Chains A and B, each alone.
Chain A
Amino acid sequence: MAKRRDVLKAGAVAVASTPAIFGGAALPRVAQAQLCRPEGIRSPLTEPDSPPVTPYSTPLYIPPAMSPIDPATLTPPPDPNRHQRFDEFQPVKFYEQRITEGLWNYHEQLSALNPLGYGSLAWMWNGATPGETLVARYGEPVFVRRYNDLPPTESALIPFGLPYITTHLHNAHTASESDGFPMDFFGPGEYWDYHYAMMYARNDPREALASLWYHDHMADFTATNVYAGLSAMTVFYDELDSGDENDPNPHALRLPGTYGKYDIYLILHDVRFDSYGNPAYNVFDTDGHLGDLITVNRKVSPYLEVEPRKYRFRIVDGGPSRFYELALSDGAEMFIIAGDGNLLEEPVSATSLVMGPANRQDVIIDFSRYRPGDTVNMVNLMEQVNGQGPTGRRLEGPDRMPVMQFRIKPLEGPDNSRIPDFMRKLPDINLNEVVAEREWVFDHDMGLWTINHDFFDPTKIDAAPRQGTAEIWTFRNAGSSWAHPVHVHFEEFQVLEWNGRPPTGVLRSRKDVATLGPNDVARVFYRFDDFLGRYPIHCHNNVHEDNAMMGRWDIVPDNGGDHGGGKWHR
């Protein structure tokens, strides 16, 4: 991955001495609010800063695994007729989640500011954000009933967002009706049932997913609802990636585990807080939203005590709009073992991780190089000044943003985990199976974001691949200054070409988010199998997604008819 150096460093220094009218950042906050620049279009640089917060002073929150319930307590009982292939994949694990509004302790210095009570306003799952982690295993189908217990719009205290929700499990191989399609939303007092078949795509273990996340996908309000708190993590295990570093099974990779101990999921959201410690959001900025504080598992720049041994961190950029280049403060090496939650064939050594919204990277960090009492910080090096995408410059020195701190404590037991030389083989790509090629162009028009020059209309089917076929899709970023993390639900793709060249490193993986830089073109291979129905393709800068950068595509039965095969254009 090319990383451009800070070629404009001299220019950046000059900005600080430029008269305040050219940016306002050098003005005190009171003066900023009085400039002739309506607040609705203030750049993130001129939004009021969050109240001061001491980084690395609050412990990391590690969400526990979801607790199963007795299915007999579900009233009414699950309705098999609401789900595709329910009888074939009968659930063996049942869960319940209640989504409510409440107070969440992002940081004690913020929580203390709120006259409503101790904490910052949040929308939560079973009283927490991130919600409990869905820890599931291939072959053990899951049923989740989610109740919307949010207050109605007139009494919701979170001033942005809309208390209608629909939950997407990103990027499980899930039937459409359980996938959290934007129009499958439910309001206060209602519930929705989700059936996760826990099947490999095409029953092929090479298609296993490992690090997923679930989050709200409400039409027009995804960015705001997720920002309010509606995001959480999911881990899928199987025989190879079993979550047990002492697994006696000779096939097991014995990656660092178990979940919550040496296998830890980190979700990153950048948040801006108001003077009462509540999350603040400018709904009038259609470019994107930037926070000035980075939260990890909804704690502002937390710390984690770690043993001097190997850990697996599953990291997801939860958005809404920030891109990251994550590095350890001493520049130490990390081993990337999964891209977008899917194990690579071979680990990739790296000193930084570049991620866009919804990208996941699993890394193994070996803390055995440190001594008890040492600390090492994770910092963000990616400069971004507005919601459109990163500048391409790298933050240096004190400008690096604090993400979290690792504090080394004494070793508590043997480390039997491994960094394998070879992990999971990629599925074969057979180009002879390709029946259609489609191009998706991501652009900007009339103040909104477009796909193929058009705005999201949930009744318009932009592509209708036939079940059991393969296609080549091209994602093209027509913007020369913005970035678009393109996400397609349901299936993972493999990159054939990125800007005309074959993929290397972490791009050689199954992925579900193609993070397109300015003018980037990615050509990818897809197969469509197992379920029918409607799915979205969208930009996972959630603000772009809410501003019409979404399309609908349907998997249709392969009855030999012509369902939009061939190059799609309008």
Chain B
Amino acid sequence: MSKTTRRAFLAGAAAAVPVAAAAAVAPAAADKDNPAIKTCPRATGGKNASRFPQVLVQDQYKQKSWFYQNLIADKLVLVSFTSVRGEDYYPVISNLVKVRQLIDDRIGKVGRDVHMYTVTTDPYRDTPEALRSLADAHGADWPFLSGAPEDIREILASFHARGSLYGLTWIGNERTGRWTKKPSQLQPLFIAEPVARLATGKLHRPFLVDMHSV
């Protein structure tokens, strides 16, 4: 397998790169003469934009997007994490397929009202083809994201993901900037419920199952 570098990834994507990212620029280096101090372009245009890197990702069909601006900003999202190898040790996709079904049935249409993404924790190995096989094997139809390893590492870091196994699903509404997170192996109700709770407008509901004591 050939190593994907950020430059090659960007070059290969040149024609297909979405245009939304023009506003994001790399800030001036803190110390231009010190090669150990790197700078990173930040996303712009959303509540928590500055907490996310401005990077390109591609899904299992090789559709390319700017991670924050195209996929997160102004959306109700669930961002989960796994890898082809990680699924053998800590499987999460089959549970997330149930979550997807529950959201579709009880909250809103996945892909239109609610957006699910799975980011690879193994960007050095996981190609779009491998992630497509993984998704298809579970009947998962939401984007499985890979990209240049250093870019994916930055996305992982922004979600506090360390190591190649990371069992959290982050649930966020970037219209309000409010986020929470749930273990990806938790029973599907308790992953879907915060989606309704964080939703705004007609999708908003405080709970899916009333658990009040009285």
Whether the Cβ atoms of A40 and B212 lie closer than 8 Å is: no
Contact of B28 among A34, A39, A533 (CB under 8 A): A34
The verdict on B39 contacting chain A, using a C-beta distance below 8 Å, is yes
A40→B30 contact, CB < 8 A: no
Name the residue of chain A whose CB is nearest to the CB of B36: A21
A457 interface residue (CB < 8 Å to B)? yes
Distance between Cα atoms of A209 and B179 in the complex (Å): 37
Interface residues of A in 41-59 (CB under 8 A from B): 41
Does B167 reach chain A (CB closer than 8 Å)? Answer: yes
Q: Are A38 and B157 in contact, with the CB atoms below 8 A?
A: yes
Is B161 close to A, CB under 8 A?
A: yes
A284 to B30, CA, bound (A): 24
Whether A34 contacts B39 by the Cβ 8 Å rule is yes
A447 touches B30 (CB 8 A): no
A residues less than 8 Å from B181 (CB atoms) = 286, 448, 547
Chain A residues within an 8 Å CB radius of B176: 153-154, 156, 159
| B162, A447: Cβ atoms closer than 8 Å | yes
A residues 141-164 touching B (CB-CB < 8 Å): 152-154, 156, 159-162, 164
Mark B103-147 against chain A: 1 for CB-CB distance below 8 A, else 0.
Answer: 000000000000000000000000000000000000000000000
CB pair A448 B52 closer than 8 Å: no
Query: Across the two chains, which residue of chain B brings its CB closest to A190?
Result: B206
Which residues of chain A are near B47, meaning CB under 8 Å? Answer: 159
* A455→B159 contact, CB < 8 A: no
Of B90, B201, B212, which one neighbours A184 at CB under 8 angstroms? B212
- A446 contacts across to B, CB distance below 8 A: 90, 165-168, 183
Q: How far is the CB of B90 from chain A (nearest CB, A)?
A: 7
Those of A129-182 within 8 Å (CB) of chain B = 152-154, 156, 159-162, 164, 176-177, 181
Contact check, B30 vs A162: say whether CB atoms are below 8 A apart: no
Q: Does B40 sit within 8 A of A, measured CB to CB?
A: yes
Determine if B166 and A82 form an interchain contact, defined as CB atoms under 8 angstroms apart: no
Interface string of B16-48 (1 = CB under 8 A from A): 000000000001111100101111101000011
Once A35-B37, A184-B212, A548-B183 are accepted as A-B contacts, the answer to whether A162 and B178 lie under 8 Å apart by CB is yes
Tell whether, in the assembled complex, residue B206 and residue A40 are in contact, meaning their CB atoms are under 8 Å apart: no
Kindly state whether residue A19 has any CB partner on chain B within 8 Å.
yes
- Whether a CB of chain B sits under 8 angstroms from the CB of A27 is yes
Q: Is the CB of A455 within 8 A of B183?
A: yes
* B40/A533 in contact, CB under 8 A: no
Which residue in A36, A176, A181 is a CB contact (below 8 Å) of B39? A36
In Å, the complex CA distance between A432 and B158 comes to: 53
Question: In the complex the two chains form, what is the Cα distance from A164 to B204 in whole Å?
Answer: 13
Q: Are B51 and A40 in contact (CB under 8 A)?
A: yes
By DSSP majority rule, is chain A's interface helix, strand, loop, or mixed? Answer: loop
Task: Verify A153–B160 contact, CB threshold 8 A.
Answer: no
A428 to B52, CA, bound (A): 56
Scoring A residues 447 to 464 as 1 if CB is less than 8 Å from chain B, else 0, what string do you get?
110000001011100000
Interface presence of B101 (CB below 8 A):
no
Contact A447 B178 (CB under 8 A): no
Asked whether any CB of chain B lies closer than 8 Å to the CB of A473, the reply is: no
CA distance A447 to B185 in the complex (A): 13
Asked whether, in the complex, the Cβ of B167 is within 8 Å of the Cβ of A31, the reply is no
Q: Indicate if A274 sits at the interface (CB-CB under 8 A).
A: no
B154 within 8 A of A: yes
- Asked if A442 lies at the interface with its beta carbon under 8 angstroms from chain B, I say no
Contacts of B161 in A (CB 8 A): 447
How many angstroms between the C-alpha atoms of A156 and B154 in the bound complex? 30
Task: Flag whether B63 is at the interface (Cβ < 8 A).
Answer: no
A161 to B53, CA, bound (A): 24
Q: Are B154 and A457 in contact (CB under 8 A)?
A: no
Question: Min CB distance, B168 to chain A, in Å?
Answer: 5
Residues in A whose Cβ lies below 8 Å from that of B31? 20, 31
A409 vs chain B, min Cβ distance (A): 46
Are B178 and A153 touching (Cβ within 8 A)?
A: yes
A567 at the interface (CB under 8 A from B): no
* A36, B160: Cβ atoms closer than 8 Å: no
Could you say which of B27, B51, B167, B182 contacts A38, with CB atoms under 8 Å apart? B51
Q: Is residue B213 within 8 Å, beta carbon to beta carbon, of the partner chain?
A: yes
Which chain B residues have a beta carbon within 8 Å of chain A's beta carbons?
27-31, 34, 36-40, 42, 47-48, 50-53, 90, 154, 157-162, 165-168, 173, 175-183, 185-187, 190, 194, 197-198, 200-201, 204, 206, 211-214
* New A-B contacts (6) at CB < 8 Å, excluding given A284-B160, A447-B167, A448-B167: A33-B50, A34-B30, A35-B40, A83-B214, A159-B177, A547-B181
Give 26 pairs: A residue, B residue, CB < 8 Å, sorted on A: A19-B36, A20-B30, A20-B31, A34-B28, A34-B29, A35-B30, A38-B157, A39-B51, A40-B51, A40-B159, A83-B214, A153-B204, A162-B197, A176-B213, A183-B212, A183-B213, A184-B213, A284-B160, A286-B181, A446-B183, A447-B166, A455-B186, A457-B186, A547-B181, A548-B182, A548-B183
